[in-house]
Amino acid sequence: MLLSPASTSASLPSQSFWGKFKKKDKESEFRERQAQMALARQRLLTLAYEDMETVRMLPNSFPELEAVARDWTKPPPDAVFGLRVPVEFASLHASRLVSGPYIYLTGEDSYQIAIMGVQGLRVEIVSDAPPPPDEPPPPPPPPVTEMPATFNLELVPGQHVVLETTVASADDVDMARMEDGTVVDGQFWGKLNIVHDGGTHTVDFTGTRILNPDVPPDMLFDSRVMSKLTTAAKPSSVKCHLSILSPAQQYCDVILSVNPLWRLELTWPPAQPVNETKVKYFLRVHPGGALEHFESEMVTTSLYYEAVPDPAMVDPNDFIAPRNGYAMTFRDFVPHLMSVLDQLGMSMHARTNFINNNISAFSAHKNIAYRFLSPSKIAAAIDISVTSDPCVFTRLFLIFRGLSDDDVGLFAGAGEKEANSVNWREIVGWSENSKDTTQFRLLETSVFEVT
């Protein structure tokens, strides 16, 4: 393709001689002037006084700057007032002519030289006037010393009375606020005590603020009632302690398996889950009874776990009845239990720990009915397997429940006397090998309060 000067202007200079004679458009000049004004308006001013700062638009003249600074600080008429610019914020021309750290603005000339070519300016105010005052807080509302009161009271079921009166404060104390200024407002649930004793008439109210006013009063409960409901709704759990006594140091796995009608709630140290009904411990056991749990890197003397049965299968009257259990008072039960644990080969230290760990639950009842489960019944709920053969198992599973004075009569032929004549070693499957220090032995103590 052939190109000629007539077909293209690529080779011609961009600003030719003839371009100087182009007619200027007034609209383009106006737009250019607007753009320049917009750029000029974008310059900002930072005013600093002591540790306070504010940002304003940069004024065009020194009188306007001084007016802005005085309006912000509001100095007294006789206060010293001056303006200065740090040299690093001033124009390059002005900073080269000053050897100090500041350029003091004394008039229009020094101000114009300082802002020459800068996009923003920092001006520090030098004055002995106090700092600019904060916005004054709104005046406090007048104190409430008197207000009407209406009491809707139910004296007896079906009999209501309304008291309309005026409540006045003593010594003109503000009844709407506390000493720290907190406003007392809203709905409260609590106790109203009205006393008329001779010439003494008092009204005393103690209550708790209702956060949700839409809740009807019939749905409110006293804190003591709520605590009792929480305790009653909490399912009972079996608390188990497992100790291992080995004649020599060795590694072993301990596997806990629960019946589908039970679930493990807690294990400590944390056990390794195998499936929904089985967990496993990998341990190194020592002759002194110490257990090293490798996953948690902990050393302990026993494993602890809790299991919860299905509430639908727990019937207190069936679990402990006169045909399979024994009842006595709390004061007789603790010494009796110590004697039974002694028959089952537990050391004094182990017996003491067993009682101390459960004395709080025992003491909550005036009368107690109890029984020990056989090994087959324990294994049907919670089974234990150990990778050590042979192993001597001793599993003591105590079930107890509280009895009222009326219920104690149902155990007339199953009291402390009858309990003392029971061969508990035969019931729990106790063996003489549990005392043999040359055997690998496992001792589990479990307590289950049936409620």
Task: State residue 428 phi and psi, 5-degree precision.
Answer: -90, -5
Q: Give the list of residues 6+ apart from residue 112 with CB closer than 8 angstroms, or none.
A: 62
pLDDT value for 1: 46
Whether residue 222 is predicted with pLDDT greater than 60 in this model: the reply is: no
The mean per-residue pLDDT over the stretch 284-311 comes to 87
- In this structure, of 155-164, 167-176, 301-310, 386-395, the range with the lowest mean pLDDT score is 167-176
Cα distances from 451 to residues 65, 235, 329, 381, in angstroms, run 84, 9, 17, 18
Comparing CA positions, the residue from 356, 429, 370, 345 lying closest to residue 395 is: 429
Are the CB atoms for 317 and 451 separated by under 8 Å? no
pLDDT of 14 above 80: no
Average pLDDT for 308-324: 79
Q: What is the distance between the alpha carbons of residues 65 and 111, in angstroms, rounded to a whole number?
A: 9
- Indicate the range of 127-141, 214-228, 392-406 predicted with least confidence: 214-228
Read off the pLDDT of each residue in 342-350 and give the average, rounded to a whole number. Answer: 87
Q: What is the pLDDT of residue 2?
A: 47
- How far, in Å, CA of 441 to CA of 1, rounded? 105
38-79: pLDDT as tens digits: 555 568 888 888 888 888 888 889 999 899 888 888 888 778
Reported as a single tens digit per residue, the pLDDT across 75-129 is 887 788 889 988 888 887 777 788 888 888 888 988 888 888 888 889 998 887 6
- Cβ proximity of 313 and 259 under 8 Å: no
162: confidence class by pLDDT, cuts 50, 70, 90: confident
Q: What is the mean pLDDT of residues 134-155?
A: 80
Q: Residue 304's pLDDT is what?
A: 92
Label residue 172 left, alpha or beta by phi (over 0 means left) and psi (-120 to 50 means alpha): left
Mean pLDDT of the residues in the chain: 81
| Integer Cα distance of 121 and 60 in angstroms | 12
Who has greater pLDDT, 93 or 34? 93
Q: Which pLDDT score, from 0 to 100, does residue 91 have?
A: 81
Quick one: average pLDDT of 408-433? 87
- Range of lowest pLDDT (93-107, 277-291, 332-346, 368-382): 93-107
- Looking at per-residue pLDDT, the higher value among 183 and 58 belongs to 58
User: What does the pLDDT read at residue 4?
Assistant: 47
